Structures are given as structure tokens and as C-alpha cells.
Structure 1
């Protein structure tokens, strides 16, 4: 009824400006703590569903700014975006800000087109595992650690025991499988325009300008300019965010409220923040 009424109004009274829903996907992927949800399928599912459900929108724009993280959560987010795009017959335009590396680039692959800033950092198609070894530390402070298991491999890669070459070989086997999954995804989405650069799948990363030349992304461009060029000068981006819940925090965010839970939450939050900061610093950010 309202749409019929709008059609008979003079043009100056109509609100016919194209509106493009925008969802921001920012942060390290899967790095959750009691104080924040991190970037995961759970934290972005609602805004994605809402964005793709807007029938009049010819496309959905995604802003990606992530140094990577969990390969599982990265692929789950990628798959949800592609499923929603197919179900709702929408084009997906991805706009990279500072970085789309590793899992962040995997998410960006969900775009039918990927736009970057000339100085964006793109790539890092690889798999990494990192940690610390504390064997010398516990010797120095005189700690006697006792571990009891059922299953001889239950303490594989235990940081309080000397490295076992067999454990490392097994870990590398797992990493190679995950890497192959990543490579297959890149080729399935970008294979027709990728160059044959031998460094593409080594974990190396590049600026946005070079990434265009390599075929990892499509073009230099920012959200506002591209949307106006594509859909008209009056196009309006509409940021879709997760609903806010308790204490104004985004939905899906767990909160440690008091006592020991609060203390543990602060400790985990500190560790998580340091780890995430290290991920951003790897790309000079």
C-alpha cells in the first residue's frame, strides 16, 4: 500500500535513493575472551542476515579489516556470506581497509569484487602456529610438573616439555592440509585472474596496489566512491550492526561480572589483547 502511494507522489517527495547495506567485519578472527566476542560467525550472523534480507538493495557491501585468526571461523563466515548471496540473489562488494591477511583475506574472497586502498595489506595465504617453551623456566624456579594421561599423544606439543620432532612433523602435516584448503578456495574464487607468481601461496603479503596486479583483488577504490559510481550519485550506504544487549555491548558478548570470574576475565582479556596486537603488528599496523 505504501509503495503504491509512493509511486504516485511527485519525484521531489519520493525517497528513491538507492540504499546499500554495509556490514563491518573487523578484528582478529575467533579470538574470544570474557570481555569481547571477537570476529566469529556468531558475532556477525545477525547483521549479515539483516543486510542480505533487504529486498530493494541490489548488493551488499562488506568492510573487511582483519589480520586473520581461526581458519575455521574464517571459512564459516565466508560460507555464510556466499550462501546468503545465493539465497537472496545479491552481489557482494568487499572493501578492504588496513588489512585483509590470512583469514581476513579468506573472508574477503566472499566478495564478487574486492576493492582495496593502494596501501592496504593483502595476502598471507598460509598457516601459522606459534607458542612458547617453558622447560628451562620451570627448571630454574624448581617446579615439578606432573601430568597423567590416557593416550600417549594427549600432551602433544606440551610447552612444558622438550619439543618432540615427531610432534612437530605431525603439526606440519595438519598445517599443510589446512593450507591446501585455503589455496583451493583462493583458486576457486580468483583462479581466472590470478597470476602465476611463485610467491602467491607462500604466506607472503603485499600492498593493495600490487595485489591488484597479482589478481588477488580487483581494483583500487573506496566504499563511497564505488557505490556512487555503481548505483548513482544519491546512493546511501547503511551500516548494519549487531543489536546491543546487556550494558550496551554487542549481542553474543559474554561478560564476567564479579569476583573470581571478573579477575579471570581480565587476565584472559589481557592475554587476548596482547595476542591480537601482535597479529596487527606483523603487518606493520
Structure 2
């Protein structure tokens, strides 16, 4: 179970989709704009040329920082929750604490409901469970990719199909019409799911208690600093060994915390914005990379395309 109260506009590019995945990554935006098919070919050419130039500057900045990005989606602060492989090196302390607590509850055979506000890490946790428990012999993971737009029958069908992989199948001959091993009528699918639960319960394999992990803690300034440091280490393919964050000053870290209230998704977006601005400063001033710093003042600067 996962609840939010984001209150975001429907056209917010960082608003999650119906199944909780981010709507667009940085790379998605670049690809989408490059493929625009407007009526004015000359204007379209200017736009794509500008996008190409911005991308080149960002990639050059990343290489100057010691990474080897192929696309803007490889740069720091562009990771997304809804990916097949979550970047474990980016986990910070409060993430590890949550994972340890929830793992303990799972081992105690308890149901878990996860309740927290928009951007605090529910989707990331869901993907971790989906991936890691899916590889565990003692678990079968049934996932509704788009729970906000599903139907009761899809819920029952998802459970029935996954249970069938463990050898628990409904008596199909008891139902008038089936499709892919699932009763066609919603009430029949519900009844089949109920029978399946009784069969599993008889084997002593059902979970019986519900635990809530409520209110995932937001980042504090120290967590943001750790996230920044981990992001750069991950970007370079290096281990995180407790090093201090680079590029971002302590004042910038505090400012990010004040602006975002420590909400992880908002922290990532703010860091991404400041990283991009730092890339423009580096390009326009021609300063050595070790002279570039992200400060709170950088948030208010305006940039053109020229040097």
C-alpha cells in the first residue's frame, strides 16, 4: 500500500506516472525535443542545434569531472526510481535503515503497508522489492504496474497467474469461461482467488499480520551531502568511502535542504538544476574544473548560449 498527497500540476515534467514511475528523465526530454516535427523547419533546426550544443557542454563538463558519460542520462543526479536496476551505491543511511526494518518484517512473515508523501522513496522501494524478492526462492512477487488504472479482475488475475508458478492453480473446469487460465467473469476470478488463498493457507504459507512503515524520513543536510558525494563517486565508477561532497559548498547543501524540505525526489531535481548551471559557468568562464563551485547564488544566475 502506498499513498501520496503531492498536489502537483498535471503537466509537471517530474510528476510520476500513474504507476509511480517518473514521467520523464533528462535523456527523455532531449530525445523528445530532438524529434519535434514542427511546421517551421528553420525554427526546428535552431532548436535541435541548441539542444545539441547544450548536451555537448554537459557531457564535456561530466568528462572534466572524471566521468565518461555517453548521454546526459549518464550524468549525476539523473537516476530514476523506475529502472530495472536501482543504483545501490546511491543509497544513503536513512534508506538502509528503512530496508533493514522492512526486511526484518518480511522475514517475520508480516504484510507491510508503505505510506508516505510524494517523492520520498516509495517507488524506489517497490522496485527493490520487485527485483530482489523476485530472485528469492521463498517469494513470488505479483506486481500491478499501474494500480491506479487497474480493475478488480486484473488484481485477481495477477495473483492467480503468479500463484500458478508455485503450483497453486484453480480448478478451471469449475468455471464456465476462462482466459489464459483465469476465470473470465470478475466474480469467478474473485472466487478462484479465494479458493487459492484457502489452499495456500492449508499449507501454512500465508502472511497474517499487517505492519505499516509510515512516513519515510526526508533527507537532512548530512544526507544530502552524502547523496551528492555518492552520486559523483558512482558517476566515476568509484566506491563511496565517506568522502565529503565535491563541487557543492556547505552553504549550497543547506540551501538545497531548505528549498526541498529534504524530499529525495526534490533534492535530486534541485541538484540536477545546480549541476547544469555549474556546467554553464565552467563553459562560459573557461576556469579550471577545480575552481568551479556550486553556491546558493548560482541558483539565481541567468545563462545565454554564448561565452
More strand by share: 1
Which structure ranks higher in relative contact order (CA pairs < 8 Å, sequence separation ≥ 6)? 1
TM-score by length of 2: 0.28
The alignment's TM-score, normalised by the length of structure 1, stands at 0.29
The structure number with the bigger radius of gyration is: 2
